[in-house]
Amino acid sequence: MDGIKRKFMAKNTLPEKMRAVVLYGPGDYRLEEVPVPRAGKEEVVVKVIAAGICAGDVKCWKGAKMFWGDKDQKGYAIPPAIAGHEFVGEVVELGEGAGKKFGLEIGDLAISEQIVPCWKCRFCKSGKYWQCLVHDIYGFRKHLNGAMAQYMKYPANSIIHKVPETIDKIQAVLIEPLSCSIHAVDRGDIKPGDTVVIAGCGTLGLGMVGAAKLKKPGKLIAIDIQEHRLEIARYIGADLTLNPEKEDVVKKVLDLTEGYGCDVYIEASGHPSGVIQGLKMIRRLGTFVEFSVFSEETSVDWTVIGDGKELNIHGSHLGPGTYPLAIDYINTGKIRVDKIITHKLPLEKFQEGFELVAKGEGIKVVLVP
């Protein structure tokens, strides 16, 4: 069937209404019936195949300051908005010029990068779009609805990637978090033979284990307090796993490195103790990568960063330029992600999914509309 006919059929068979999870405030997320989005010029509408629940989604749901603010700080979230920034979808409608612009046809699998750049600020103009000053990310603001719905729209200024049909469609929901993991590992500048520590083995940390393994470190260590997560870390490629509730992990890493400490430490736990632990176990002139979104402030003695060890401190945000790699690694099995998705729930059970993630009982919980 040619593209014009397929487009016409899609445009005339889309329903008027859909189910969606709409955020209104901390703890106030509602399953509602809302209008199905339609594609304008250079826009793409997809039927959502799966939407992941991120730890950041849960922190927003629980009322973290960075999302909702307080008397001293304006929050990032602008309700009401459809939640969800981890997703994959099937193209069902192409606006004028969208097919040519993004290389898509009706029926293709496609993913949009989680940030939709403004392309006007100094960061976008210099190619650093992931630091866009406007910083619109799907699922938190009312003008950019997310994926916890039956359909969603990719705007004209979004960055869209076609996903191969050979990929496992549910595993494809991990493209977004894996792209972030790859970027964080790149920020660590891992050299062959390095001792590398990944702290936190949630979805992002496990992706970092897989991405770091491809850098051929001398020893790859994963840290978490949950044994089932450590088991998956070993499956993905960790040489050694440590549980800080069962042993002194700082002493263990120092003992393994003749007292020097690890060369690269990547913090993905989202807990203040993960920062303090890392500063203690990293060697002088080592590289510390911070990725997590925190629910609370972390206090440390900054002397260790400068006068103590002269560390390289690198932040890491989103997955700029790494989506094609993430797609390839999942599709080809170069990074083994098949054990990361632990729960698949219908959209109606979104509350149960959020609670599973909040309690640490699931790794990646996926909603299937």
pLDDT tens by residue, 165-221: 999 999 999 999 999 999 999 999 999 999 999 999 999 999 999 999 999 999 999
Q: The domain spanning residue 278 has which CATH number? A: 3.40.50.720
Position 331 in a domain: no
Q: Are residues 81 and 128 in the same domain?
A: yes
Position 249 in a domain: yes
Q: Are residues 182 and 253 in the same domain?
A: yes
pLDDT of residue 249: 98
Q: Are residues 116 and 249 in the same domain?
A: no
**How far is CA 160 from each of CA 88, 114, 117, 156, 329, rounded to the nearest angstrom?**
11, 10, 12, 10, 18
Position 220 in a domain: yes
Per the prediction, the chain carries an average pLDDT of 95
Q: Are residues 309 and 352 in the same domain?
A: no
Pair 300, 134: CB distance under 8 Å? no
Q: Are residues 161 and 193 in the same domain?
A: no
pLDDT of residue 12: 54
Question: What is the domain range of residue 107?
Answer: 3-168+338-368
Say which residues have a Cβ less than 8 Å from residue 354's Cβ, sequence separation at least 6.
Answer: 29, 53, 57, 58, 61
Tokens of 107: 């029926």
Tokens of 237: 């490629």
Q: Are residues 134 and 199 in the same domain?
A: no
Tokens of 30: 């509602």
Q: Are residues 143 and 184 in the same domain?
A: no
Region for 360 from its dihedrals, namely left if φ exceeds 0, alpha if ψ lies in -120 to 50, beta otherwise: left
Angle at 112 between CA 96 and CA 65, to 5 degrees: 125
pLDDT of residue 362: 87
- pTM: predicted TM-score of the whole model, two decimal places: 0.95
**How far is CA 316 from each of CA 34, 188, 213, 283, rounded to the nearest angstrom?**
35, 9, 18, 20
- Residues of the chain short of pLDDT 50, as ranges, are 1-11
Tokens of 167: 């990929």
Task: Please state whether beta strands 86-94 and 44-53 pair in parallel, antiparallel, or not at all (unpaired).
Answer: antiparallel
Q: Is 285 exposed, middle or buried (0-12, 13-18, 19+ CB in 10 A)?
A: exposed
pLDDT tens-place string over residues 323-339 = 999 999 999 999 999 99
